[in-house]
Amino acid sequence: MNFKPIYGAVTALGMVAAPAAQAQLFDRGGGLIYDSVQNITWLADANYAKTSGFDAEGKMSWQNAVAWVDGLIYSDSVRGVNYSDWRLPSFNDLGAAGCDYGYSNTDCGFNVSTASSELAHLFYGDFANIGFVDSRGLQQPGYGLVDDPATAADESLFGNIQSFSYWLGSSYPGDSNKAWYFSTATGMQNYISKGNNFYVWAVRDGDVAAVPDPASYILFLSGLAAMAGSIRRRKAAAFPALA
């Protein structure tokens, strides 16, 4: 059963201290990272299949990866909620069906469009990494997973990111024995036999309720009290005989 969070007061509290609009990744606590641009929540542990004891390495075939995320129940220690609606990162086939291989802004190859998959967006967009080759197909330095120490909202929010290939959630069109993958080692996105053993990074749609800091909570309660007082004063002014 998929969990559908109930917002309301908790959501209102989270709005009090809303971060700047340009930010993309938010640490929600409990091992959950929210991407506000893609409106998805990543597991902070990028190799939870190993951490959870499911697999000694965390690598598995595409079929096993799909089955694992489908059966995954993750306990959010901050909100006291179990989430069971996990999936593999999505792939978006741009242009003609299949691999439009290239070195820039396609859905297959290097430096792919960030719209082509959720992992491509995370790698090239949120993390601001670069591919193994540039747009001319020439090898470039500093490719792959490179954490910028001056930026807090990037790889440093996550743990156990493997410099290897991760499965995406779509089969290759015209060949059900193959599926799409994304390599965090080189920034390549391509397709391959489903029998290969790659890593799995679980993701779910939407956000989880933000947990406010104490100062924001006090500010929110003060605002409610002020609002209630204002309403009482307006009623007293409108109906003096009842005041």
Claim to verify: residue 201 and residue 218 sit in the same structural domain: no
**Count of domains forming the chain:** 2
pLDDT of residue 234: 60
pLDDT of residue 152: 87
Which residues have a Cβ under 8 Å from the Cβ of 48 and sit 6 or more positions away? 58, 72, 74, 160, 200, 202
Per-residue pLDDT of the chain (243 residues; tens, 9 = 90+): 443 333 333 333 333 333 334 459 999 999 999 999 999 999 999 999 999 999 999 999 999 999 999 999 999 999 999 999 999 999 999 989 999 999 999 999 999 999 999 999 999 999 999 999 999 999 999 999 999 888 888 999 999 999 999 999 999 999 999 999 999 999 999 999 999 999 999 999 999 976 655 554 455 455 555 565 555 556 555 555 544
Claim to verify: residue 109 and residue 90 sit in the same structural domain: yes
Claim to verify: residue 143 and residue 231 sit in the same structural domain: no
Let me know if residue 2 belongs to a domain.
no
Claim to verify: residue 176 and residue 221 sit in the same structural domain: no
Cβ pair 116, 169 in contact under 8 A? no
Let me know if residue 22 belongs to a domain.
yes
Claim to verify: residue 180 and residue 234 sit in the same structural domain: no
Let me know if residue 4 belongs to a domain.
no
Claim to verify: residue 60 and residue 87 sit in the same structural domain: yes
Look at strands 81-83 and 74-76 and give their pairing: antiparallel
Claim to verify: residue 157 and residue 242 sit in the same structural domain: no
Let me know if residue 83 belongs to a domain.
yes
Claim to verify: residue 128 and residue 67 sit in the same structural domain: yes
What span, in angstroms and rounded, lies between the C-alpha atoms of 65 and 18? 35
Claim to verify: residue 136 and residue 230 sit in the same structural domain: no
Claim to verify: residue 124 and residue 86 sit in the same structural domain: yes
Let me know if residue 3 belongs to a domain.
no
Claim to verify: residue 235 and residue 137 sit in the same structural domain: no
2 DSSP 8-state letter: -
Claim to verify: residue 121 and residue 173 sit in the same structural domain: yes
The tokens for 215 are: 């100062």
Let me know if residue 1 belongs to a domain.
no
Let me know if residue 40 belongs to a domain.
yes
Domain hosting residue 218, numbered range? 213-243
What are the Cα distances from residue 239, in Å, to 71, 82, 193, 226, 229? Answer: 60, 50, 76, 20, 15
pLDDT of residue 215: 52
